[in-house]
Structure 1
């Protein structure tokens, strides 16, 4: 596992941004789609610290309620770059969309307890086996939390096909639990903390600690056609989030990082102060994507062979 100092050095070396930052054609406009999770922190920081602007990029950050809708928004040109989870991205590619990865967002870490299975108060759900026959909300069918939770259930000897998963956006989780529409949700902070603080539910499992270290939780994708037409903009975007990642790794910048997150996902100060921030992973590797391909094959989610060497924009 990389410690903070090693990761900081790697990010700084990878970016090379201080001396000769890549510059796009003046005023290149990018609408970037994000969801309400801290895995997008490097993009939020890049916007607030001016890393996009100094590279000639005019980046508008657009909130998208459901992660699973981001590929369609890219395809329709409503977004130029968006942050699907790796599984949502791969399903889109599997379905015929010609998308490539420009950069990455957050990474998995066994120290992260910022997401998990949150059960409704009084539901009696305590163990993985208790999920059988229950209705569980996930913020996007086929998205990161859905796929990884099914992998966790399988690892614990539970047939996830016996669990009724329903799609529910993060902001709906608390109300669905209170109303009894679902027995549990696979949720993430700040929504998870709000649910537990209100008494509407409790954390039945911080299953995130089951996941391997250093795998992408969010990837920044674009249409291959857009990247081919705008190679300087794509490179400039990637270098901006690399510089942002290095900034995030310096403890002295923690307050500014949290302020950037709070601006875009509207966190109250008391929640913002406690929320865990995913480690930044601005550069996506073929090896990281191969992990997700194999995981999705195990869950029979892919119908065609996926060539990981064609997924990452150079």
Structure 2
């Protein structure tokens, strides 16, 4: 090959490569997801670290934020999607911050709970006590409200000390508070430190913590493939947990400074949900639960009125 022909060939090759790279970049959808270090959200971290988001054409930035900051970031447009509980999605929509739930992440079966000193044996004994719990609007506060509601106790009949789930568990273990609401992986530190305290009740008895990924409805309309790509990447993460659990738990545990063994133990208190689980929940369960949750949110003054249409708070097409 002559030098001229060779130069022309190389130039065309470089041009083709640049065009391909540009096309690939154009096919990639950028988004930011807000979440916490809650064990139930960890497959999203796994999807990022293992390259599943990238595989499905997503460039995802995961931001770890407390629920209040998550709301502010989402409302300002800094986040396109969030991972949180159904009750939070209800509250956001009720306060004119539209967000659409598109797939189920997990359901807690003991991963959220209330820690007390050993002399407390019934939730009714908590009337008049001070409870360390995250701010109103966060999932621990809702679970506490749900527990009180089921036991005929008004939130006005207890006192609250605002602490994050991690700080609440640490304060309880240090003997600084006598009652604390927390969740995994932090609740396991209470389980492991049984001296002077115990877990009085969890989501085994009070199944009120169900998590979804929700996204901005306008963003979803502008990026019609992105919702399906999120579900696909999350499904790949669940497959990795099933087929290569050691590596998956190592990756997910590292994000919250836990060993694979510690993280696997904390994960045993919840169930990650498949696309089929989401489909069934959307069909049968989400509306009844949202109605009950809405009543509690109104009663505890987290919201003033119910969202106009509960059916508008979710879109099942992304799992169908």
Indicate the TM-score class for this superposition, using the shorter chain for normalisation: 0.7 to 0.9
Equivalents in 2 of 1:24, 1:159: separation in Å?
54
List per-residue Cα deviations over 1:62-111 (Å, max 9, x = no partner). Answer: 211x2233222111122221112211111010001121123221124xxx
**Deviation larger for 26-35 or 92-101:** 26-35
Structure 2: which 5+ runs fail to align? 1-23
**Correspondence 1:194 to 2:189:** yes
Other-structure match for 1:8:
none
- Alpha-carbon RMSD: 2.7
Distance apart, 1:25 and its partner CA: 4.9
Task: Name the larger-Rg structure.
Answer: 2
Structure 1: which 5+ runs fail to align? 1-22
Q: Secondary structure at the match of 2:230?
A: helix
Other-structure match for 2:8:
none
Distance apart, 1:129 and its partner CA: 1.5
Q: How does 1:1-314 map to 2 (within 5 A)?
A: 25-64=26-65, 66-108=66-108, 112-119=109-116, 121=117, 124-177=119-172, 182-198=177-193, 202-212=197-207, 217-248=210-241, 250=242, 252-269=243-260, 271-277=262-268, 278-281=270-273, 282=275, 283=278, 285=282, 287-290=284-287, 291-300=289-298, 301-302=302-303, 303-313=305-315, 314=317
| More helix, by proportion | 2
| Cα distance change of structure 1 residues 298 and 189 upon mapping to structure 2, 3 Å threshold | closer
Contact 1:74 1:81 survives alignment (8 Å): yes
Equivalents in 2 of 1:264, 1:287: separation in Å?
34
Equivalents in 2 of 1:186, 1:201: separation in Å?
16
Contact 2:140 2:165 survives alignment (8 Å): no
Equivalents in 2 of 1:31, 1:279: separation in Å?
25
Contact 1:75 1:223 survives alignment (8 Å): no
List per-residue Cα deviations over 1:266-300 (Å, max 9, x = no partner). Answer: 22455224222422225361644321332221452
Contact 1:102 1:235 survives alignment (8 Å): no
| TM-score, structure 2 as length reference | 0.77
Q: Secondary structure at the match of 1:133?
A: coil
Q: Secondary structure at the match of 1:274?
A: helix
Equivalents in 1 of 2:314, 2:176: separation in Å?
40
Equivalents in 1 of 2:54, 2:185: separation in Å?
29
Equivalents in 1 of 2:53, 2:205: separation in Å?
35
Where relative contact order (Cα < 8 A, 6+ residues apart) is larger, the structure is 1
Equivalents in 1 of 2:307, 2:111: separation in Å?
33
Equivalents in 1 of 2:94, 2:134: separation in Å?
21
Q: Secondary structure at the match of 2:100?
A: strand
Equivalents in 2 of 1:203, 1:265: separation in Å?
23
Contact 2:250 2:259 survives alignment (8 Å): no
Other-structure match for 1:10:
none
| Cα distance change of structure 1 residues 106 and 273 upon mapping to structure 2, 3 Å threshold | closer
Aligned length: 282
| Cα distance change of structure 1 residues 204 and 194 upon mapping to structure 2, 3 Å threshold | closer
Other-structure match for 1:9:
none
Equivalents in 1 of 2:209, 2:202: separation in Å?
16
Distance apart, 1:41 and its partner CA: 2.7
| Cα distance change of structure 1 residues 74 and 187 upon mapping to structure 2, 3 Å threshold | same
| TM-score, structure 1 as length reference | 0.79
Equivalents in 1 of 2:155, 2:60: separation in Å?
40
List per-residue Cα deviations over 1:141-172 (Å, max 9, x = no partner). Answer: 23323223322233234334312233311221
